Structure 1
Amino acid sequence: MSSDPTVQPVHPSVVAQVDAADTTLHNPQRAVIALGSNLGNRLETLQGAIDALEDTPGVRVKAISPVYETEPWGVEPGSQANYFNAVVLVKTTLPPSSLLERGQAIEEAFLRVRSERWGPRTIDVDIVAYQGIVSEDPDLTLPHPRAHQRAFVLAPWHDVDPSAELPGHGEVAELLAAVGDAGVQARGDVELRLPE
């Protein structure tokens, strides 16, 4: 599904559930969103999630990282299929809480099941960072509390924004160098496309 314009998102009927927001993108904020999938057609699911983000009033997808294939994190080796991971940079007028609601709605549309911690999933939509905000809100901790430990977030983020910084932790390049990239491999044979 690399560049075939006839391929449609898996769930084109996903409708944005957002708070009242300035959908004209005046004074947009920058957010970093990590995507992951290890069930079903992983590439198609990631593309569908990106398309659904772009279809959200008040959100514009500005850049998409290369796809990485990664070993599952936090579980026994070989107990799950590998993930496809990517990082998406967006500009948005939605507040963090509404962007979170939208991410959860996308997960639900792709039948994400939350039966076990770090369990397999059709799609994971995580807000990694939002305009430099540092917050310990129990509903949405910013930045993502484990992003600095995860090569599958840091490697694609570094690819799409080499000078990025993770608020409270430092430069993404240095964080990636510290954790290493074992178990994380760029997949040059597949790609995600920016929505038109």
Structure 2
Amino acid sequence: MNDGDMQSAIAAWERAYIGLGSNIGDRERFLTEAVRLLQQHPQIRVTGQSSLYETDPVGYTDQGPFLNMAIEVTTMLSPEQLLEQLMETERELGRVRDIRWGPRTIDLDMLMYGDVRRQQPELTLPHPRMHERAFVLIPLIEVLELHHQPQAEPLRAFLERAEGKEGVTLWKKMQ
């Protein structure tokens, strides 16, 4: 492989951030299984993960608390291909979409994909409501800070203004 090919191969991998949540059954197992399934994909590498946080439900509140976390991945998949893989992982783990913001075994949301900005019916990047949600911002900032990513600092300002911080508690520190 010459230097040009090497640069193309390096540039083909993009960094993305995914929010995960579960509030049915063995919540921790669903989260760890989702991470494992994503890691098994040949074009996805999980390169960082936050701690687990127990959070109060938002939107539809007549349900049990969630466990939430965020992961960093590098991928050769396009944003649309990564979204399809997230949805496939949800299906494998028994996700049923009955009630908007309702109970679920697993929820995988693409929060950011490199510097991509996109607004399409099936995919908006960055995630359109992540700036409003403490249960997304707290683990996302944590995983961004693992590799000293500059996006963490502006997100801290959103976290200061976000409602629901009191409903997010550290549940388990990940290594």
CA contact (8 A) 2:60 2:100 kept: no
The aligned residue for residue 70 of structure 1 is 55
Runs of at least 5 residues in structure 2 that lack an aligned partner in the other structure: 1-8
What SS class does the counterpart of residue 116 from structure 1 fall into? coil
How far is the alpha carbon of 1:26 from its aligned partner?
Answer: 3.4
What SS class does the counterpart of residue 161 from structure 1 fall into? helix
Among 65, 75, 86, the residue aligned to 1:103: 86
CA contact (8 A) 2:144 2:151 kept: no
CA contact (8 A) 1:164 1:172 kept: no
Aligned residues: 162
- Residue 41 (1) aligns with residue 41 (2): no
The aligned residue for residue 121 of structure 2 is 138
**Change beyond 3 A, Cα 1:164–1:80:** farther
What SS class does the counterpart of residue 60 from structure 1 fall into? strand
CA contact (8 A) 1:31 1:130 kept: yes
Among 61, 65, 68, the residue aligned to 2:46: 61
- Using the aligned pairs only, state the percent identity: 39
**Quick one: which amino acid aligns to residue 33 of structure 2?**
G
CA contact (8 A) 1:34 1:153 kept: yes
CA distance in 2, matches of 1:70, 1:137: 29
- Residue 127 (1) aligns with residue 113 (2): no
- Structure with the larger helix share: 2
How far is the alpha carbon of 1:164 from its aligned partner?
Answer: 4.5
The aligned residue for residue 80 of structure 1 is 63
Runs of at least 5 residues in structure 1 that lack an aligned partner in the other structure: 1-24
The aligned residue for residue 183 of structure 1 is 167
What SS class does the counterpart of residue 46 from structure 2 fall into? strand
**Change beyond 3 A, Cα 1:97–1:137:** same
**Quick one: which amino acid aligns to residue 26 of structure 2?**
N
What SS class does the counterpart of residue 54 from structure 2 fall into? strand
What SS class does the counterpart of residue 171 from structure 1 fall into? helix
**Change beyond 3 A, Cα 1:32–1:92:** same
Q: TM-score, normalised by structure 2?
A: 0.87
CA deviation string 1:121-168 (max 9, x = no partner): 0000110000011110111111111100111110011112235528xx
Among 32, 45, 52, the residue aligned to 2:37: 52
Among 151, 155, 159, the residue aligned to 1:165: 151
**Quick one: which amino acid aligns to residue 84 of structure 1?**
L
- Residue 147 (1) aligns with residue 125 (2): no
CA deviation string 1:31-80 (max 9, x = no partner): 0000000001000110000001101121100000000000011123xx11
Moved over 4 A (4+): none
CA distance in 1, matches of 2:112, 2:142: 16
